[in-house]
Structure 1
Amino acid sequence: MAETARTVIIEENGGPEALKLVDWPVGEPGPGEIRIRHKACGLNFIDCYQRSGLYPLQLPHALGMEAAGVIEAVGEGVTHLAPGDRAAYAATPPGAYTEARVMPAAQVCKLPEDISFEEGAAMMLKGLTVQYLFHRTTPLKKGDTVLFHAAAGGVGLIACQWAKSEGIRLIGTAGSDEKCQLALDHGADACINYNTEDFTKRTRELTDGKGVDVVMDSIGASTFIGSLDCLKPLGMMISFGNASGPVEAFNLGILAQKGSLKVTRPTLFAHIADPAACQEMAAMLFGKVSSGAVKIRIDQRFPLAEVAEAHRALEARKTTGQTILTLE
């Protein structure tokens, strides 16, 4: 085993130019840990938040939250994985932008043979996010209606297919007609171009004035208040990202005025903190992909050395579907 691996780190917060490719020590797994050699790494908005300092890290720190590869070694007490296993994960601490790493084993999942390493790297964080949005945040049933922002993004295209597979009506939003069509092609019932239409007004029209049961919003500041106006009374607002910036403080009384609405700000890592829950969630995700109900669309591939360009494309909203970093 090589003593170091090419790894992307930051030594200070900043823009994509802060990303550095260095030789980083790997080491041997201790109790409860594994060593994994990656075949591909996933790219997510949380990586940009950590790079910029919105989500602080103790620096210097490696970045990246998901990847897929082959288990090289396991530490004492690890029983669900063995050397040679194909595996994928979305997990803390950050450090997935690398050729190989030692990390906690609890959130690392055995990857089915019929799912490729690239798919595994692209789907774990986003797919597990969709799983908790639809199954662990608020009760959803066949016939319910969801408004999903950024429906042509990595999480969104999985959500469109997931909703269709469960008989849930999904109304998406996106920033162009082309992206709207992509969401429709993946199972959205309707999609609103928020650059040419008022998404609140259009959502009300599409629901005969009633509003939706749930809003799933990863955009944040620019869509939050408008999203509340899309909900029917007693509806649930799930704010799970900050692509346009964090949501500012607001008067809780607004929720009463708009129909006794509910609001939550979940994170994936709270949901997968329990190892058994993580494995159960992953099993459901793998089942959706293996059955063909959810197809993982990888539209952008960047070599690890071009990670800064990948971040620029993601932050400029020039990406669709999934984006991965390649290692071979």
Structure 2
Amino acid sequence: MAKTVIIEQTGGPEVLKVVDRDVGAPGPGEIRIRHEACGLNFIDTYQRSGLYKLDLPHALGMEAAGIVDAVGEGVTHLAPGDRAAYAAMPPGAYAEARVMPATQVCPLPEAISFEEGAAMMLKGLTVQYLFHRTSPLGPGDTVLFHAAAGGVGLIACQWARSEGIRLIGTAGGPEKCRLAEEHGAEACIDYRSEDWVARVRELTDGKGVQAVMDGVGKDTFSGSLDCLAPLGMMMSFGNASGPVPPVDISQLAAKGSLKVTRPTLFTHIADHATCQEMGRMLMEKVGGGDVRIRIDQRFALDDVTEAHRALEARRTTGSTILTV
């Protein structure tokens, strides 16, 4: 039996329930993993609220780290006793232990702690595909990153710095802006007190940025288009403020032949070999010191309701984990 967080209906944080579930044995292509820590992400709130549909009842949670307890037939990249971490479908990471597909589970080097592993996989793999698999970016390019003081944002700030890419961030309040700049943002704009579109244009001498990386959604999408240079790429990868309304595609032509994509991590990591390659790059960035995983909030698994409230109220910085 393992303590597991489930929802039986969609709604606010109050619908989260902690129950005991039988774990069972892994089948072909599966592993059983005993978690040391679990990650908290905005996608979890989308699934809980019903924005992203799940068949109910369903366990929640998309990333965790721990020790492989057993492996099923056909699993060759992991063995019992291995340290491992993952961001993976289906949801179910908010648990003491689980049986799950092995495809998206990655070996975790000794140099990276279980807490770091649980906090970095979904966010770090997201940053990897934004910088390396979505649109060509390289030294000297400039990107705009919204919510730069959040878990994904702080990784992105450091990632950009490590590759000679200029990152301009936005965040809510001077403390969050300072945090983003400490982690590698060249500048961070306080959207509560500044016209961030005008400021981006000022910081780029009116030219705009090559790419916008936007996990906020509804509140920032339109302004983000106005920050792009001609032929720039809008990467809309999340909906923290709500889903983006329908877009008049002719506006992309009028604003400079812009490109727009709505990527998801799980499309990028669906292939086993690709997922493992992306995981290795992330772990090299963290293990080599280019990226430091900042964990600013820790909640016990039993306190998952309060963790969701804090995340949705934007009372968090860096990454948040659930301790098991």
Same fold judged by TM-score > 0.5? yes
Say what the alpha-carbon RMSD is for the aligned residues. Answer: 0.3
State TM-score, norm by structure 1.
0.99
**Residue 131 of structure 2 is aligned to residue 146 of structure 1:** no
**Partner residue in 2 for 1:205:** 202
Could you tell me which of 247, 257, 278 is aligned with 1:260? 257
- Report deviation, 1:152: 0.1
**Partner residue in 1 for 2:317:** 320
Structure 2 Cα separation of the partners of residues 200 and 25 of structure 1: 52
Could you tell me which of 39, 42, 45 is aligned with 1:42? 39
Structure 1 Cα separation of the partners of residues 112 and 209 of structure 2: 34
- Report deviation, 1:24: 1.2
**Partner residue in 1 for 2:15:** 18
**Residue 129 of structure 2 is aligned to residue 132 of structure 1:** yes
**One-letter amino acid matched to 1:230:** C
Deviations 1:208-235 (A, max 9, x none): 0000000000000000000000000000
**Partner residue in 1 for 2:219:** 222
**Residue 229 of structure 2 is aligned to residue 232 of structure 1:** yes
Could you tell me which of 165, 168, 188 is aligned with 2:165? 168
Deviations 1:179-238 (A, max 9, x none): 000000000000000000011000000000000000000000000000000000000000
**One-letter amino acid matched to 1:90:** A
Could you tell me which of 187, 190, 195 is aligned with 2:184? 187
Structure 2 Cα separation of the partners of residues 58 and 222 of structure 1: 29
**Partner residue in 2 for 1:100:** 97
**One-letter amino acid matched to 1:148:** F
Q: Aligned to 1:222, what secondary structure does the other structure show?
A: coil
Structure 2 Cα separation of the partners of residues 291 and 13 of structure 1: 41
- Report deviation, 1:273: 0.1
Structure 2 Cα separation of the partners of residues 152 and 18 of structure 1: 28
Structure 2 Cα separation of the partners of residues 184 and 272 of structure 1: 30
Deviations 1:271-306 (A, max 9, x none): 000000000000000000011000000000000000
**One-letter amino acid matched to 2:148:** A
**Residue 153 of structure 2 is aligned to residue 156 of structure 1:** yes
Deviations 1:247-287 (A, max 9, x none): 00021000000000000000000000000000000000000
Structure 2 Cα separation of the partners of residues 234 and 21 of structure 1: 48
Structure 1 Cα separation of the partners of residues 23 and 169 of structure 2: 42
**Residue 6 of structure 2 is aligned to residue 9 of structure 1:** yes
Structure 2 Cα separation of the partners of residues 6 and 141 of structure 1: 45
**Residue 69 of structure 2 is aligned to residue 68 of structure 1:** no
Structure 2 Cα separation of the partners of residues 179 and 250 of structure 1: 30
Gaps of 5+ in 1: none
- Report deviation, 1:85: 0.1
**One-letter amino acid matched to 1:238:** M
**One-letter amino acid matched to 1:142:** P
Structure 1 Cα separation of the partners of residues 39 and 138 of structure 2: 30
Query: Which runs of 4 or more aligned residues in structure 1 lie more than 2 Å from their structure 2 counterparts after TM superposition?
Result: none
**One-letter amino acid matched to 1:303:** A
**Partner residue in 2 for 1:123:** 120
State TM-score, norm by structure 2.
1.00
Structure 2 Cα separation of the partners of residues 178 and 315 of structure 1: 18
**One-letter amino acid matched to 2:21:** W
- Report deviation, 1:109: 0.4
- Report deviation, 1:84: 0.1
**One-letter amino acid matched to 2:78:** L
Which residues in structure 2 correspond to 1:269-308 (within 5 Å)?
A: 269-308=266-305
Deviations 1:43-82 (A, max 9, x none): 0000000000000100000000000000000000000000
Q: Aligned pairs, how many? A: 324
Structure 2 Cα separation of the partners of residues 303 and 194 of structure 1: 32
Deviations 1:138-176 (A, max 9, x none): 000100000000000000000000000000000000001
Structure 2 Cα separation of the partners of residues 137 and 33 of structure 1: 30
- Report deviation, 1:108: 0.3
Gaps of 5+ in 2: none
Structure 2 Cα separation of the partners of residues 96 and 70 of structure 1: 13
